[in-house]
Structure 1
């Protein structure tokens, strides 16, 4: 800047008109309960039909990303008949890391009946947990194609009571085949339900739908390719578009969504529609692992610390950060926003999660700047000196970090250790 004799002249931050919104404008479960009722009845029937079956029943809900697999699994899980039939109900999100011991530990930790013998191997604890119990285990978002891993886990599931079942969601038919599952293919959502989702997002602030824009909803529905996630994202984008020209521009884009590519293009479109500082704030969230419960207040403080929040003379950085979070939440970038309880049972903080596909978008943007280490040290792939943000939640994390910092000299801006640090951190300066 000095070499070219540039002068720094701070400009007032231009804000869009912030509108106070609820995190959830419409109830997606209400639409899902109507739109997926036939699928729910079919899968519930399959699970209950095997009540006297001594063999473990595995059912897989298969469909493309954003089609509503997890939402359907939630409807099934909460069905009164299912709640009454099974003695033990468990839900675990698997995502792209299928480590048998870690998964066994997660399953045990998800149970209200978990045993406290933490010194025993996780698989032994799992076997003890399910032994004699008629259980339903939901393994959400499974990517594993390694049959031996599934076989090893299944050997311990077999100790459950008669009629026990595993319900899994996956985008990959090959995964369902490896698991020996009865496959339920989840098709595209009917256009009339997609229309409901889009209108709920696009006209959420309108007392009366503008006639010209309402006529164009059908064009937007076509672009969604049956994906409720795409419909939700498009509805959020269209909320700020008030002219026919803007709507036509969205409807005519060729890369919005295709059955071949899934909903990544539409989600990238949602990202491209953000302001520059909101893009930074969202992309930064990739520092947290998939399915991680993010402390919202902590996230805002991290945004501030990294300089992502623009200053405003009338509002504090925390207030602006909260507005940015609310806006991102209203655009479906965050989900499962809820109050968490502390160890005393009091509601203490807001937490949220990021949809897996949104996480993939953020990862594609941040590339080598973030490292998330949640597995064994030998499996961690450390990038070059481009690393700026580190999240560690693995054994011997102090040794990993010290060794990494001794060999390389990256300019670390964020370090999050998600478990106790028992040794000094060296070379950090």
Structure 2
């Protein structure tokens, strides 16, 4: 058994003698970090694809907890607020010391003013409390940050491809309402925009906005993907579901995947010389709906792509549900 020792320094804070654990910094040598690749990807996915739609009584600020071994230090809300303000305003040492005598209320007000209408990503390290009451003042402060409004930009870039300026203007109001369904998630905006590209009229866009899918108990990403999936033709759905066999973050070769579709009989039941052409068209259709991403043309001329982790989870969930349906049908027969 190894005994771990913490370096403790003694300092005065607001007239009281306190022990302080040695601080860590964000400046590290990345080449020496190992064993955290999966956790890092999961965290990034949570930031970009997790639900940001607050429930009743919850904060509008998105919060992700990364929990490790607990410590024994006493949580000091004033100290945390001071450090946040120092970082936000890049205060020098003298100005930072002046905050020692400032109340938490004033500190929170200064934070609100500093982040108002700005987008903020705050990372807190070495915080030793999980009591919601301790965080309430800071949660309120960060609700003054700018909301995520890029979803409309992402959605419109996808949805307005090939449309005239007049058509774009006529669809904009409905499109902005649909963008509110994205809950600040770029992947949802891209998927919805890709689907709306194929919808011509305001009525069709309104059907997307009022779809019953939004009332299902699904993540926003899954709801958007389900809408786009249901919009596919039957044969395209079958080929898309086959993609559940590919692992996450896997480089998929387009031609290899098309040959696998052919081998499974998903392109034609007979030897059709145009099967590969049909396969390429289906691939392009799935790309247009943002089911595939990170397209790359290699030096040998081959084309590769990847499937977003959330899309992999979605298609695997679909496959499980379809298998259950088939089993239920078989039993009933």
> If the length of structure 2 is used for normalisation, what is the TM-score?
0.55
State the match for 1:272 in structure 2: 230
State the match for 2:162 in structure 1: 205
Richer in strand (by share):
1
Q: CA deviation at 1:232?
A: 0.8
User: Are 1:195 and 2:155 an aligned pair?
Assistant: no
* Structure 2 unmatched runs, 5+: 1-21, 51-62, 71-121, 126-138, 328-333
- 1:204 match: secondary structure: coil
Counterpart Cα distance in 1 of 2:269 and 2:146: 43
Match 1:351 to one of 296, 301, 304 = 304
- 1:177 match: secondary structure: coil
Instruction: Give me the CA root mean square deviation.
Output: 4.3
- 1:333 match: secondary structure: coil
User: Are 1:304 and 2:262 an aligned pair?
Assistant: yes
1:16-415 pair list within 5 angstroms: 88=30, 130=32, 139=37, 168-169=43-44, 171=46, 176-178=66-68, 182-183=123-124, 190=147, 192-210=149-167, 211-256=169-214, 261-310=219-268, 316-340=274-298, 346-367=299-320
- 1:241 match: secondary structure: coil
Counterpart Cα distance in 2 of 1:143 and 1:338: 21
Counterpart Cα distance in 2 of 1:326 and 1:248: 26
Q: CA deviation at 1:246?
A: 0.6
Given that 1:189 and 1:228 are in contact with CA atoms closer than 8 Å, whether structure 2 keeps it comes out as no
* Structure 1 unmatched runs, 5+: 1-53, 59-84, 90-129, 145-167, 341-345, 371-385, 387-429
- The CA deviation string for residues 136-176 of structure 1, in whole angstroms up to 9 with x for no partner, is 997355599xxxxxxxxxxxxxxxxxxxxxxx535397761
Given that 2:196 and 2:205 are in contact with CA atoms closer than 8 Å, whether structure 1 keeps it comes out as yes
- 1:196 match: secondary structure: helix
Cα–Cα, structure 1 residues 189 and 254, in superposed 2: closer, same or farther, change >3 Å? farther
Greater gyration radius: 2
Q: How many residues align?
A: 223
Counterpart Cα distance in 1 of 2:204 and 2:322: 34
Cα–Cα, structure 1 residues 193 and 282, in superposed 2: closer, same or farther, change >3 Å? same
Richer in helix (by share):
2
